[in-house]
Amino acid sequence: MAYYYTEPSHTFSEYLLIPTYSSENCVPSNVTLRTPLCKFRRGEEAPISINIPLISACMQSVSDDNMAIALAREGGLAFIYCSQPIEKQAEMVEKVKRYKAGFVANDSAIGPDQTLADILRLKEQTGHTTVAVTQDGSLKGKLLGIVTSRDYRVSRTTLDEKVRDFMTPIDKVISAKDGVTLSEANDLLWEHKLNALPVVDDDGHMVAFVFRKDYDMHKENPLELLDAKKRFMTGAGINTRDYEQRVPALVNAGADVLCIDSSEGFTEWQRRTLSWIRDKYGDDVKVGGGNVVDADGFRFLAEAGADFVKIGIGGGSICITREAKGIGRGQATAIIEVAEARDKYFAETGIYVPICSDGGIAMDYHITLALAMGADFCMLGRYFARFDESPTNRVMVNGNYVKEYWGEGSSRARNWQRYDSGDASQAKLSFEEGVDSYVPYAGSLRENVNETLSKIKSTFCNCGALTLSELREKAKLTLVSPVTLMEGGAHDVIMKEAVKRSK
């Protein structure tokens, strides 16, 4: 006989937080949202933590290299989508890892006998305006000079003019010797009013660049998520079919953490994927699994070796898995049960496996509810799809700007591997589990994320908490009735906007 749950599952909108005592220290500026991303043992630090509890979904319409850079700058992490050729995904990861560093490994070089046309071509390929001119044109050749956008004017310099004729020669270039500290390099930038400082070895061969913009950017973004080499951190999605080829390529490209992108994680296919990664890389490669909605699913993935576990089936705004297949669970109930399973697993084994709420976030306060219920961080799709930094087009519909947003289970994404059942005859599904849609355009990521974080921190203070662990200990949650929901919004008034529209 089938098992029946005696209580209905609930969504975030069915809960509210009850305020508790707030001390004089409970002000938003004192709140820290840093949270572990990967599993760790009791008494140890997590190998990877994020500075804000927000990660972006492994979706074509959400997470590319531009999103990864923008989100890492704010302290979060993006998972670059895997529904693309392996080489393309690895290239996106490499772009993120090259973008920000204290010492940027030289990846733009040209020979002195090449031309302005070659410079422009290289600029288009790499996006870099500062190019090292080396004796043999190689990345680590002997430095003869540098070229920046100030060394030429396309309107006045002919395309066939030799680089040696308009570059800044080495005798006029301020450089530093290999072994210089980042602090010393930054001092040279400021002392000589430079935008770029080349670093060379004892023989004058090119080693790296240090850029003034990186220093300025870091000071403006103290929560930046950086690796040990001061590069932006990024995640990448993988699937359960081509992982033997995709994982090595992403690891070599520099991906900091991987995530199995699947609609349902309680499967043999995820166990095999995790097992292969552990056999080949041990614990050096961090990888999350999911999605699950109950304690059994969490325990399965934790024992299979997942570094974190994603929760949620059918709750995404573009997901129609529940409608198509009748599987899933209310997101709030799923988090509460899985959080209890995580804590039980931690008590038994001494291993803490972070959990991620994926889907069901319609309002900013739903993020705070998910954290209070036990989630360590939240994966968001629709939220990030609205911003300038998402990879989709901004279009005008009915007089309003919107951005395109489609599910990975839609015909447009054609990401059937995400719904892999292991049946070769079903390599391409005959039905969709996602839709193609629009979301209201919202502007820049930074502005919107800062507003969201302000709301979250303010709510933390209402609950007397300054950290995520404190929030879980002190939070009081109550189920609400439909009438309570109605009462919570504007009611029994005539909105001025409605009056304006009627005129």
Q: Say how far apart CA 19 and CA 25 lie, in whole Å.
A: 16
Amino acid identity of residue 49, one-letter, is S
Triad 407, 77, 419: Cα angle to 5°: 30
Place of tokens 């760790």: 40
CA 187 to chain CA centroid, nearest Å = 32
Q: Say how far apart CA 124 and CA 291 lie, in whole Å.
A: 39
Q: What are phi and psi of 288, to 5 degrees?
A: -95, 160
- Measured CA distances, 60 to 243, 407, 435 (Å): 18, 8, 13
Place of tokens 């409608």: 323
Whole-angstrom Cα Rg for the chain? 25
Which residues are CB-neighbours of 402 under 8 A, at least 6 positions away?
A: 394, 395, 396, 438, 439, 440, 441
Which residues are CB-neighbours of 202 under 8 A, at least 6 positions away?
A: 177, 178
Residue 407 tokens read as 């599910």
Q: Where are the alpha helices (DSSP H) in 282-409?
A: 295-304, 321-325, 331-349, 364-373, 382-385
Do 57 and 358 meet the contact criterion of CB atoms below 8 Å apart? Answer: yes
Q: What are phi and psi of 403, to 5 degrees?
A: -120, 145
Where in the sequence numbering do the catalytic residues fall?
A: 319, 418
